[in-house]
Amino acid sequence: MIVVKTIKEVREIVKGWRKEGATIGFVPTMGYLHEGHQSLIKAACENDKVVVSIFVNPMQFGPTEDLATYPRDLEHDKEKCSQAGADLIFAPEPSEMYHDNFQSYVDMNLLTQELCGLSRPCHFRGVCTVVAKLFNIVMPDKAYFGQKDAQQLAIIKRMVDDLNMDIEIVGCPIIREEDGLAKSSRNTYLDPQERKAALVLSKAVKLAEKLILGGEKNCETIVSAMKELVNSEPLAKIDYIKIVSLDTIQQIPQITDNCLVALAVYIGKTRLIDNYFYQS
Ligand code: PAF
C-alpha cells in the first residue's frame, strides 16, 4: 500500500494504473477509520485498485464545531486501510487542497437545506466542494459512501447527476456496534455514561422500523413516538427527528416508498446521527 500527500503523486499513480486497464474504486474519508470505513474499502475492492483519501476537510466544519479536536491518527488509519485491502492512501495537508487564492465552491439548493443542513448551514457546501475536488483528483470509476450519512449520500448522488460526473456512487449499509450504536469516529468523544445514553438513537430507529413495518403510515405519529423515547434519556437533546423523501430530503406526511427516518441527537456535547431507510 502506498501513502502519498500530493495531488501530483495521486494523478501519476492512477494514470499508471489506468494505462494497465485497471478500474479504480474510491473511498473518501476524514480518517480515524473504523469498521464502517473498512466495509466501504472492502466493497471498493470489487475494482482492480482502491484509493482512500484521509482529509479532515476544514470547509465542512462550522466556526463552533469540532475541527480542532476531530480525532486524527494516520498510523492507525494506515493499518485499517491495509487490513481492508486499499492500494493507495491520499492524505493531503489543507494547503495542498486549498491554495491561498481558493475561491470556487460547489453548492446545492433544497437537499442541503433540510435535516443536518439546518443546524450546519455551510456543511454540505464544504462536503460537495471537497468531494468534487477529490473526484477530479482521483478520477475513480466508482465511489463508496456510507448510508449512515444518508443526506450526504443523496446530495453526492444529486451532484454527480447534476454536474455530469462520470462516476458511479455506491451506498453501503450502516455498520453498528454489537449493542446497536452506529459506528462513528465521533463515538470516541463519549464518556462511559454518554456511551450508554447514545443507545437511545438506535433504539429510536428500531422503534420507527417496528412501527412502519407494523403498518403505521402517519409520519407525525412515528416521529412523536421517537421523540418521547429520546426525551426519556436525560443526557439526550434532540436536534431533529424527521421523516423525509430520500429523493428530495423534504418532509412527508405519510410513509411512502423510499423514505428516510433521520435523527440527530446531542449526547452531552457530541452530536450523533442515525437513520432508517424504508423501501417497500
Ligand atoms: O463522510 C465524510 O467523512 C466526509 O463528509 C467526506 C465525504 C469524506 C468529505 O469530507
What CA–CA distance (Å, rounded) separates 165 from 132? 9
The residues annotated as belonging to the active site are: 37
Residue 227 has pLDDT above 90, yes or no: yes
- Ligand 1 centroid distance, CA of 220 (Å): 31
> C-alpha grid cell for residue 33?
477509520
* Residues 185-208 pLDDT 10s: 999 999 999 999 999 999 999 999
29 lines ligand 1 (CB under 6 A): yes
pTM, 2 dp:
0.97
Burial 167-187 (b: 16+ CB within 10 A, else e): bebbbbebbbbeeebbbbbbb
> Nearest C-alpha to atom 2 of ligand 1 is from which residue?
29
Residue nearest (by alpha carbon) to ligand 1 atom 5: 127
Which atom in ligand 1 lies closest to the alpha carbon of residue 57?
10
Q: Which residues contact 8 (CB under 8 A, 6 or more apart)?
A: none
Among the listed residues 146, 162, 147, the one whose alpha carbon sits nearest the alpha carbon of residue 260? 147
> How remote is the CA of residue 227 from the centroid of ligand 1, in Å?
28
The cell numbers describing 107, all together, are 453548492
> Please, which pLDDT band fits residue 280 given cuts at 50, 70 and 90?
confident
Q: How far apart are CA 4 and CA 37, in angstroms?
A: 19
pLDDT tens for 17-55 read 999 999 999 999 999 999 999 999 999 999 999 999 999
Q: CB of 156 closer than 6 A to ligand 1?
A: no
Mutual angle of helices 74-84 and 35-44, in 10-degree steps: 40
- From 120, 149, 156, 159, the mutation candidate for ligand 1 (largest count of ligand atoms within 8 A of CB) is 149
pLDDT at 265 over 90: yes
